[in-house]
Amino acid sequence: MSRLDAFLARLNAQKLLLEEIATAIADVPGPVLELGLGNGRTFDHLREILPGREIFVFDRAVSAHPASIPDGEHMIVGEIRETLAFCGPRVKAPAAFVHCDLGTGDPTADLAKAQWLAPLITERTASGGFVASGVAMDLPDFEELPIPPGLEKSRYRLYRKR
Ligand SMILES: C[S@@+](CC[C@H](N)C(=O)[O-])C[C@H]1O[C@@H](n2cnc3c(N)ncnc32)[C@H](O)[C@@H]1O
């Protein structure tokens, strides 16, 4: 698959998965954690499809489109390895949904990141809450759910905490 095809598959999967999860978390209280603001595209979509739901966004830097930047209380700047571990006083409740979009495309770097991320995500997700990740993760407290048909090429993985 060319990188252009892979990019299109990822964007398409992101939109469909985010919309599916937005419906699925209707009865799960708690905020949404967006790991990776980037350009702000998925954050902007999440706030559109989840009006009224608190969304906290994590990134080491703010370089998004100016129209897609969270307010100061909900933008958590820094290395996620540190900010996710210590965001409790600010985020407070366990998350109904964690969207993890930190993949680099480098398999070794992604594997290393998934190792330290998995326990932090486990700690911050509510029971019954969902995780969608661009990289596979070892999450023993979660059930891996099937990816909706047609989205297999996106490499997205979907998990629900028991
Ligand atoms: C692929 S982009 C996110 C794209 C975004 N979801 C969008 O739709 O525009 C990944 C982002 O994750 C951030 N990132 C990656 N690893 C990080 C880390 N360890 N700590 C903090 N931010 C990180 C990068 O700075 C980058 O902005």
Chain segment 100-114, per-residue pLDDT in tens: 999 888 999 999 999
Q: Span 114-122, mean pLDDT?
A: 98
What is the band of 10 on the pLDDT scale with cuts at 50, 70, 90?
confident
Chain segment 62-99, per-residue pLDDT in tens: 999 999 999 999 999 999 999 999 999 999 999 999 99
Over the chain, what is the mean pLDDT? 95
Nearest Cα to Cα of residue 152 among 16, 29, 24, 57: 16
Closest approach atom of ligand 1 to CA 78? 21
Whether residue 38 has its Cβ less than 6 Å from ligand 1: yes
Percent of the chain surpassing pLDDT 70: 100
The ranges assigned to domains in the chain are 3-161
Q: How far is the CA of 71 from the centre of ligand 1 (A)?
A: 17
User: Quick check: 141 pLDDT over 80?
Assistant: yes
Nearest Cα to Cα of residue 118 among 104, 100, 106, 105: 100
User: Quick check: 152 pLDDT over 80?
Assistant: no
Chain segment 31-48, per-residue pLDDT in tens: 999 999 999 999 999 999
**C-alpha–C-alpha distance, residues 69 and 71, integer Å:** 7
**pTM of this prediction?**
0.96
Three-class SS string for the chain?
CCHHHHHHHHHHHHHHHHHHHHHHHHHCCCCEEEECCCCCHHHHHHHHHCCCCCEEEEECCCCCCHHHCCCCCCEEECCHHHHCCCCHHHHCCCEEEEEECCCCCCHHHHHHHHHHHHHHHHHHEEEEEEEEECCCCCCCCEEEECCCCCCHHHCCEEEEEC
Nearest Cα to Cα of residue 95 among 120, 69, 76, 117: 120
Q: How far is the CA of 87 from the centre of ligand 1 (A)?
A: 17
Pairing outcome for strands 32-35 and 95-100: parallel
Nearest Cα to Cα of residue 75 among 98, 54, 96: 54
Q: What is the domain class of 3-161 according to CATH?
A: alpha beta
